[in-house]
């Protein structure tokens, strides 16, 4: 007889936040070729400017942006109700867009996938595994200035309408 409400799987291993941050900081953008990925709601009208700003930020850090991909949420009538939610809590993006990012990474032999949006530790682990290369948030990449490494926040997102 099936017992409802019970899960028969091991609990997920928790990665301490320090280790997750350390793993993200291991990626150095200097000389790296990256795929830049943006996730924006339909309310975000200036997403192209944010992507250009993120690409310029990566270029200033020494990375070369090979491909830019954007996932828009709430453009269709069905997505308007769920605009504030990610497509997937595991990957942030829809399954088709994750596949598109993976193909772009393989096609360009990118060293990493850099996301404009902040990724949770779980999303970072899942995307790194699926893409076969580091998946990091732009805000997690340290900036080296005068021999000192300091994290720089991602471009600010202004709310519109």
pTM of the shown model? 0.70
Signed CA dihedral, 96, 98, 104, 109: sign only: negative
pLDDT tens digit string along 110-161?
Answer: 999 999 998 988 889 899 999 999 999 998 887 655 444 454 444 444 444 4
- Picking from 86, 89, 87, the residue whose alpha carbon sits closest to that of residue 122 is 89
Structural tokens at position 148: 């000192």
Structural tokens at position 78: 């069905």
Other CB atoms within 10 A of residue 36 CB: 25
DSSP H helices, the chain, are 17-25, 47-60, 95-108, 121-131
pLDDT tens digit string along 32-49?
Answer: 999 999 988 777 889 999
């Amino acid at each position: 007889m099936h017992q409802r409400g019970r899960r028969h799987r091991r609990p997920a291993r928790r990665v301490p936040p320090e280790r997750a941050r350390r793993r993200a900081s291991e990626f150095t953008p200097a000389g790296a070729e990256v795929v830049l990925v943006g996730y924006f709601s339909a309310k975000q009208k200036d997403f192209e400017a944010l992507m250009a700003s993120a690409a310029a930020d990566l270029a200033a850090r020494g990375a070369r942006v090979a491909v830019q991909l954007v996932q828009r949420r709430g453009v269709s009538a069905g997505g308007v109700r769920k605009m504030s939610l990610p497509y997937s809590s595991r990957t942030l993006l829809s399954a088709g867009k994750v596949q598109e990012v993976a193909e772009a990474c393989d096609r360009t032999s990118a060293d990493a996938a850099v996301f404009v949006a902040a990724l949770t530790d779980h999303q970072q682990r899942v995307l790194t595994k699926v893409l076969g290369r580091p998946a990091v948030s732009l805000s997690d990449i340290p900036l080296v200035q005068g021999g000192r490494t300091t994290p720089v926040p991602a471009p600010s997102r202004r709310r519109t309408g």
